[in-house]
Amino acid sequence: MKKRNLLFVTALMLVLSFMLAACGGGGDGKKESKGDGGDKKDYGIKFLSIATGGTGGTYYPLGGNFANLIKDATGIEANAITSGASAENMALIKKEETEVAFTQTDIATYATEGTRMFDGDKVENMKGLGTLYPETIQIVTTEKSGIKSVEDLKGKTVSVGESGSGTLANAEQILEVHDLTLDDVKARNLSFDDSTTGIQDGTIDAAFITAGTPTGAVEGLAATEKVSIVPIADDKIDALIEKYPYYAKETIKSGTYGLSDDTNTVAVQAMLVVRDDLSDDLVYEITKSIYENTDKIGHAKGELISAEKALEGMAIDLHPGAKKYFDEKGISSE
């Protein structure tokens, strides 16, 4: 009888030990993505910030959409933060104060080369994730200003973008091919919102705004004023592209901001960059979450974003995690 009781107790203990082991899960302690709202993989960080731009531009609302996509894919709490846009975002990456950032392809080039506004301040901890859509250089004014050409900006009060911004670099280069400099205008360093407010209240005559069209700040101006976009002549566009190959010819279509005709100008590419210390797995998932869910991007620019075009104009080295994604898709920058 005692022997049978001992065997029963032993068998019961074995059963209980197997049950406890099953409840404990795997032995490595890692949480893997369930794909059904369950636990997500441990990517080494719990919070991720995306540096965007001002609230009146395109980066900020897009960044909010991207943050939601990233959170859904990885479980990481992601958040879009406002900033002075492209150039400032490079500084935030360098100081490790953000993980992901919007910028322009030209600014990313300056940052990695240590040229122009990054002279002596090269950003070496940054890699590319992918390009997004054309960033249109819009020289905004009103019909009543009488400004019809870039040359007409001479002597006028002009917002040329915030100090250190990509817009400021664009303004300098466009003025340059027209044989003008910042000294030829009464330059003001204003945000997009402050620029359009200044045009509306008459404190400035025109503003350079580099952003995807339609731009919220300009749409707001168009609601109260007859907006005009200053065209750039074809020969000046050719000269600009010859000297600065990251530019491309762009047309702002009639109907945008109530324009009666198409307007020729130029554009650079908007892109995303990441810190190079982010894990390959995390950057792979970030890349995938954006380029495979463009139909969920609640912004007009979502229609222009695609994996197939994401390496066009890529001016810096890709992060290995992003490269893995594009390699799997058979997309090459060559």
Note the pLDDT tens digit of each residue in 93-104.
999 999 999 998
Asked if pLDDT for residue 12 goes beyond 60, the answer is no
Phi, psi of 255 (to 5 degrees): 100, -30
**HSE of 227 in the Cβ direction (CA atoms, 13 Å)?**
25
pLDDT tier, 57 (very low <50, low <70, confident <90, very high otherwise): confident
**Helices marked H in the chain — which ranges?**
2-24, 59-74, 86-94, 105-113, 166-177, 192-201, 216-222, 234-243, 280-291, 320-328
Nearest partner of 84 among 42, 46, 117, judged by Cα: 117
Q: What is the dihedral of CA 158, 249, 82, 187, to 10 degrees?
A: -10
State the Cα torsion 280-283-284-285 to the nearest 10°.
Answer: 130
Q: Give the strand pairing for 126-142 and 263-275.
A: antiparallel
First to last CA, the chain: 81
Break the chain into its structural domains and give their ranges. 47-134+271-328, 141-268
pLDDT 10s digits, 166-215: 889 899 999 999 999 999 999 999 999 999 999 999 999 999 999 888 88
Extract the tokens encoding 279.
Answer: 């894990």
State the chain's mean pLDDT as an integer.
Answer: 88
Superfamily for the 47-134+271-328 domain: Periplasmic binding protein-like II (3.40.190.10)
Query: Does residue 10 surpass a pLDDT of 80?
Result: no
pLDDT > 50? residue 62: yes
State the average pLDDT over residues 304-333.
Answer: 92
What pLDDT shows up at residue 216? 87
Question: Which of 186, 166, 2 has its CA nearest to residue 84?
Answer: 166
Helix (H, G, I), strand (E, B) or coil at 195: helix
Share of the chain above pLDDT 90, in %: 71
**Are the CB atoms for 110 and 188 separated by under 8 Å?**
no
- Angstrom CA distances, 263 to 136, 166, 249, stand at 11, 21, 11
Q: Is 307 left (phi over 0), alpha (psi -120 to 50) or beta?
A: alpha
pLDDT at 25: 40
Percentage above 70 pLDDT, the chain: 87
Q: What is the bridge-based pairing of β-strands 47-51 and 100-104?
A: parallel
User: How much is the pLDDT for 5?
Assistant: 52
* Chain segment 122-160, per-residue pLDDT in tens: 999 999 999 999 889 999 999 999 999 999 999 999 999
Looking at residue 333, its pLDDT comes to: 64
- Per-residue pLDDT band for 36 (boundaries 50, 70, 90) equals very low
Q: Which two tokens stand for residue 28?
A: 């490595």
Q: Does 141-268 match 47-134+271-328 at the fold level? A: yes
Domain 141-268: homologous superfamily in CATH:
Periplasmic binding protein-like II (3.40.190.10)
* Residue 124, pLDDT score: 97
Opening angle at CA 125, ends 122 and 130, nearest 5: 105
pLDDT value, residue 8: 52
